[in-house]
Amino acid sequence: MEDKKQHCLLGGSSAERWINCPPSARLTEDMEDVTSIFAEEGSNAHSLAEYKLNKALGNNIEYPKLTIFSKEMDEYTDSYVSFVLEQIESLKEEDSGNAPYVMVEHQVSYDKWVRDSYGTIDFLAANNKTLHIIDLKYGLGVKVDATENSQLKIYALGAIQELECLYDFEKIILTIYQPRIGNVSTWETTKTELLKWAEDVLKPAADLADKGGGIFRSGPWCKFCKAKAICKERSKVALEILNQEFRNPALLSDNEIEEILLKADDISSYLNDIKDFAVAKALDGKKWINFKLVEGRSTRKFTDEGSVINVLKENNINPYDTKLRSITDIEKELGKAKFKTLLDNFVNKPQGKPTLVLRSDKREELNLVNTDFDVFKEEK
pLDDT tens for each residue of the chain, 380 residues long:
444 445 689 999 999 999 999 999 999 999 988 778 999 999 999 999 999 999 999 999 999 999 999 999 999 999 999 999 999 999 999 999 999 999 999 999 999 999 999 999 999 999 999 999 999 999 998 899 999 999 999 999 999 999 999 999 999 999 999 999 999 999 999 999 999 999 999 999 999 999 999 999 998 899 889 999 999 998 887 777 666 665 566 788 888 888 888 888 888 888 889 888 888 888 888 889 888 888 777 777 878 888 988 888 898 888 887 778 888 888 888 888 888 888 888 888 887 777 767 778 788 877 776 555 554 554 44
Q: What is the pTM of this model?
A: 0.74
Going along the chain, which residue ranges are E strands? 101-109, 118-126, 130-136, 171-178, 183-190
pLDDT value at residue 379: 47
Alpha-carbon gap, residue 213 to 23, rounded angstroms: 5
Alpha-carbon gap, residue 124 to 172, rounded angstroms: 11
Tell me the Cα Rg of the chain: 25
pLDDT value at residue 295: 79
pLDDT value at residue 233: 92
Which of helix, strand or coil describes residue 84?
helix
Report whether 83 contacts 56 (CB < 8 A): no
Return the CATH fold of 12-211: Lambda Exonuclease; Chain A (3.90.320)
Q: In the β-sheet with 171-178, what is the strand arrangement from edge to edge?
A: 101-109, 118-126, 130-136, 171-178, 183-190
Q: At 80, which helix (H) or strand (E)?
A: helix 71-94
Q: What is the domain partition of the chain in residue ranges? A: 12-211, 326-379
Report whether 144 contacts 182 (CB < 8 A): no
Alpha-carbon gap, residue 22 to 28, rounded angstroms: 11
pLDDT value at residue 247: 58
Among 166, 159, 221, 231, CA closest to 195: 159
pLDDT value at residue 355: 77
**Cα distances (Å, whole numbers) of residue 157 to 185, 302, 378:** 19, 57, 54
Residue 341, number of CB atoms within 10 A of its CB: 11
